[in-house]
Amino acid sequence: MNTKDTRVILTQDDLIDQFKKCGLQAGQTVMVHTSLRKLGFVVGGAETVIRALLEIVGEEGTLIMPSQTWKNLDPSTGVHWEEPVEWWPILREHWPAYDKEVTPAIGMGAVAEMLRTWPGAKRSDHPARSLAAVGKHAAFLTENHDLSNIFGDGSPLDKLYQLDGYVLLIGVSYDKNTSLHLAETRSIFPNKAFTEESSAILINGKREWVTYRTQAVEDEDFIRLGQQFDKEMNIKVHKVGNADVRLLAQRPLVDWATAWMDRNRV
C-alpha cells in the first residue's frame, strides 16, 4: 500500500475535535512538541495546528514550544558537524548574535517556528535554548531565562511546573520531551556533570561571544524512561490523524522522572 493510500486529511475542526478527545481543555498551559508530518495532510499546515490548539485552550490558556537556536553554540560541541574544523574560528567570530525577534528556531519543526512569530508571542532570552509562548502566561514563562540555569529552578520548564501545566507530544516520543531536562536538574544521580558553553549574544547592541557554565544534559535514556512511565502510570496513547499523541500532566511526570533517574543513572 503506498503513502497516498494511508494518509489522512485534517481540517482545523478535525484537529479541535480530536485534540479535545485527548483531554486538551480550555485554560490549560501546555508545552507542545509536534511533528506536523506525522499528523497527515493538515489543511493549512502549521498555521492550522496552532489555530486549533489556541481555540481549545482559549484566552485563559497558554501554548509554549521550544524555539531553540542550538547552532549558536561553540562548533567544538558538534553542532556544526557538517562543516570542516578549519571553519570553526570563522563560525565563532561571525555567527549572528541571538536576536529573539529575528533568529529562527533550528530543528524544532514548522509548528514551533510559526508559534515563535505568532502575534503576541513572547520568547525567552537564552541564545541557544529559548522557548516561545502565546497566551495568558506567555510573559511569565519566558522572562528571566538565565544563561547558566537553562532547565532548572526558575527556568521556563520550572515555571510550567509551578503552573501545574501539561506536555502534549504530537507524533513524537519522550526523546523530544524537554521537561525531562527539569528532572535531570533535580535528580541526585552521581555522575551529574557541568560544562562550559559559548554563544553569540547582543550586549548593549554589540555582538559578543560569551562563555557560561551550565549542567550537561543527556537524553539517551529518555525513551526507556518514557516506556516505563507509560506502563507504570497507564498513560493512554491517543490518535490524532496518523500521529500518536500523549497529553501528560507535567508535574507528576517530572517528579516520577526525577526519582527514576535517582535509581537508574549511575
pLDDT of 95 over the 80 cut: yes
User: Quick one: average pLDDT of 206-230?
Assistant: 97
179's grid cell? 521537561
As a whole-number percent, the residues of the chain with pLDDT over 90 amount to: 96
Tens of pLDDT along 111-121?
999 999 999 99
Q: Which pLDDT score, from 0 to 100, does residue 6 have?
A: 78
User: Residue 23, by phi and psi: left (phi above 0), alpha (psi -120 to 50) or beta?
Assistant: left
Q: Using the predicted structure, report yes or no on whether residue 7 has a pLDDT greater than 90.
A: no
Q: Where are the domains of the chain?
A: 3-260
Q: Give the pLDDT mean for 169-182.
A: 98
Greater model confidence, 200 or 2: 200
Determine the average pLDDT of the residues in 53-64. 98
Q: Quick one: pLDDT at residue 5?
A: 58
How confident is the model over 188-193, as a mean pLDDT? 93
Q: Which pLDDT belongs to residue 4?
A: 54
Please state, in angstroms and rounded to a whole number, the distance separating the CA atoms of residues 46 and 104.
Answer: 15
Sequence-separated (6 or more) residues with CB below 8 Å from residue 55? 12, 16
CA distances from 67 to 71, 110, 112, 131 (A): 12, 11, 6, 5
Q: Residue 14 corresponds to which amino acid?
A: D
Look at residue 3 and tell me whether its pLDDT is greater than 70: no
Task: Give the count of beta carbons closer than 10 Å to the beta carbon of residue 196.
Answer: 12
Per-residue pLDDT band for 266 (boundaries 50, 70, 90) equals confident
Q: Is the pLDDT of residue 2 over 60?
A: no
| pLDDT tier, 1 (very low <50, low <70, confident <90, very high otherwise) | very low
